Amino acid sequence: MDSDDDFMSGMSSDEDDVLQDESDNDDGSVDDFGFDEPEPDLGFSQKDVVQKKKSFDVNFKVYHPEDIQAQQDDLINEVNMILDIRKEDAAILLRHFRWNKERLIEDYMDRPKKVLEDAGLGPNVAGPPKLEVIPGFMCDICCEDEPGLQSFAMKCGHRYCVNCYRQYLNQKIKEEGEAARIQCPQDGCKRIMDAKSLDLLVESDLQQRYHELLMRTFVEDKEYLKWCPAPDCQNAIECGIKKKDLDKVVPTVTCDCKHRFCFGCILADHQPAPCDLVKKWLKKCADDSETANWISANTKECPKCNSTIEKNGGCNHMTCRKCKHEFCWMCMGLWSEHGTSWYNCNRFEEKSGSEARDAQAKSRVSLERYLHYYNRYANHEQSAKLDKDIYQKTEKKMIQLQTASGMSWIEVQYLNSASQALQICRQTLKWTYAFAFYLARNNLTAMFEDNQKDLEMAVEALSEMFEKPVQELADPKLKVEIMDKTSYCTKRRLILLADTADNLANGVWSWSISF
């Protein structure tokens, strides 16, 4: 009865549990054809059978906000014990080392003074932070000098009145979204505001915002952690796929909120196409619109963290606001490699003119070919939306049907399964067209297109059945057909994904256009 249930669970909750057992999937080439689970017949009861891992699956783990906090606390406590330093300082050091505990401990053992200095902790004087009234004190920020003025200074000794400090922290936290690296207001002082001092100085709403931002930097600092991009979802996902592996594997993960997305680029699931291809494809598809033209003309992505950056003034020396990566706008290379040629990037200009013209000419020639793939890509996107609409209509009728024909709620769930299978298969099909656009003509591509065709035919057939009027849907024969077709679609999709993933992992695809 629940042929899709198995399929759906394979996509969501069971996946991480099962996959945790196997950790050797980095090459993605394990067990090529392990589709022993979704049988095309109904009523199979394999729910308890441990599913075999598929080559296009990756290991991942979902973290809820409290898990993320606990992880941070654990690390802080560990460093606190090993290095025998205050927890606040341990937190600052860990953030400074982007939560790389091993490197922190190693460096600290070698040169404790330098590490403290670099992290903005300076020479340590004992005693908790406190507000003080100092006779004859004048605040350098507001120039206030009335007697009894409360003031505060961090360990660096740069003292300002409490009011100015509050204003300053308010500005940093609320306006600039800064938390882990708020420096002393003194010009050139690298001392970093710690959580305890902050709690002493500001109101609880700002404290809360500060801790939220700290949490955010924890996830953003860790290469293996990413936020689930679904609206209002607060979970983070851990996945061991590294950036350099993204040409070999498409790491689709599923959050506990059910959102399926690619861990590599945070976009919605785009299997079987690898991230770079997707990025290039989307940029290409968007080229027609004015906005996209503007974006491609005016923005680039930070080579390190992929944040989109608009250069709206200044010179070629860019510092990413988010990850502080320094690079050259012209050649996108490391800034440090530029030495003293700080203004003009000569490395790029030599070839740039002719390359740009070549690219232009090529894109005209390939426009027609592109449209072939784009139309099919867009069609599946559109159809997925329509299938969803139809399902929502059907759902209402399913309720009517239950009362009219006496079918139970569980007996009409096959429509739900069919709808979900359609959605997920269309998502895959959509991306097969982007993928095919970049493929070179050869036997592998022919096989890929066969797989694509099989899946597409199955999906269209299911979609057609799905559109039938409610009266016909109630027919037990059609019901069986729909269920059969649903699991067939699912199976075709798995075959296609496994095939592409294996070839990708082994690097045997050849591309007509590099991406």
Q: Decide if 198 contacts 210 (C-beta within 8 A).
A: yes
Q: Decide if 165 contacts 185 (C-beta within 8 A).
A: yes
- Residue closer to other proteins, measured from CB, 169 or 482: 169
The residue from 208, 242, 287, 342 that contacts other proteins (CB under 8 A) is: 342
Q: How far is the CB of 434 from other proteins (least distance, A)?
A: 32
The residue from 25, 316, 417, 427 that contacts other proteins (CB under 8 A) is: 316
3-class DSSP assignment, residue 237: strand
Q: How far is the CB of 169 from other proteins (least distance, A)?
A: 9
Q: How far is the CB of 332 from other proteins (least distance, A)?
A: 14
- Residue closer to other proteins, measured from CB, 198 or 318: 318
- CA distances to 57, 260, 269, 500 from 396, rounded to whole Å, are 35, 26, 29, 38
Asked if 348 is part of the footprint of other proteins (rule: CB under 8 A), the reply reads no
* CA geometry: angle 162, 168, 169, nearest 5 deg: 90
- Residue closer to other proteins, measured from CB, 313 or 469: 313
Of the ranges 104-112, 215-223, 337-345, 477-485, which one interacts with other proteins (CB under 8 A)? 337-345
Q: How far is the CB of 185 from other proteins (least distance, A)?
A: 5
3-class DSSP assignment, residue 118: helix
- Phi and psi, residue 456, nearest 5°: -65, -45
Of the ranges 112-120, 123-131, 278-286, 306-314, which one interacts with other proteins (CB under 8 A)? 306-314
Asked if 484 is part of the footprint of other proteins (rule: CB under 8 A), the reply reads no
Q: Report the C-alpha gap between 280 and 272 in whole angstroms.
A: 15
The residue from 73, 301, 310, 395 that contacts other proteins (CB under 8 A) is: 310
Catalytic residues: 315
Asked if 141 is part of the footprint of other proteins (rule: CB under 8 A), the reply reads yes
Nearest Cα to Cα of residue 489 among 409, 418, 415, 432: 418
Q: Where are the alpha helices (DSSP H) in 155-194?
A: 162-170
The residue from 9, 13, 69, 186 that contacts other proteins (CB under 8 A) is: 186
The residue from 23, 232, 343, 406 that contacts other proteins (CB under 8 A) is: 343
Asked if 334 is part of the footprint of other proteins (rule: CB under 8 A), the reply reads no
- Residue closer to other proteins, measured from CB, 110 or 175: 175
The residue from 35, 44, 168, 227 that contacts other proteins (CB under 8 A) is: 168
Asked if 313 is part of the footprint of other proteins (rule: CB under 8 A), the reply reads yes
DSSP 184-208: PSSTT---B--HHHHHHHS-HHHHH
Asked if 315 is part of the footprint of other proteins (rule: CB under 8 A), the reply reads yes
Asked if 143 is part of the footprint of other proteins (rule: CB under 8 A), the reply reads yes
The residue from 49, 50, 109, 142 that contacts other proteins (CB under 8 A) is: 142
The residue from 188, 353, 406, 476 that contacts other proteins (CB under 8 A) is: 188
- Residue closer to other proteins, measured from CB, 171 or 471: 171
Token pair belonging to 364: 């005209």
The residue from 48, 102, 110, 187 that contacts other proteins (CB under 8 A) is: 187
DSSP 2-65: -HHHHHHHHHTHHHHHHHHT----TT--S-TT---S--SSS----TTSPPPPPTT---EEEE-H
Which residue type does 508 have?
A: V
Asked if 282 is part of the footprint of other proteins (rule: CB under 8 A), the reply reads no
The residue from 104, 309, 465, 473 that contacts other proteins (CB under 8 A) is: 309
Q: What is the DSSP letter of 329?
A: T
- Using only C-alpha atoms, what is the Rg of the chain? 28
Asked if 146 is part of the footprint of other proteins (rule: CB under 8 A), the reply reads no
DSSP 350-415: HHHHHHHHHHHHHHHHTHHHHHHHHHHHHHHHHHHHHHHHHHHHHHHHHHHHHHHH---TGGGHHH
Look up tokens 């959050």; give the residue: 255
Return residues touching other proteins (CB under 8 A).
140-144, 160, 163-164, 167-168, 170-171, 175-176, 185-188, 309-319, 321, 342-344
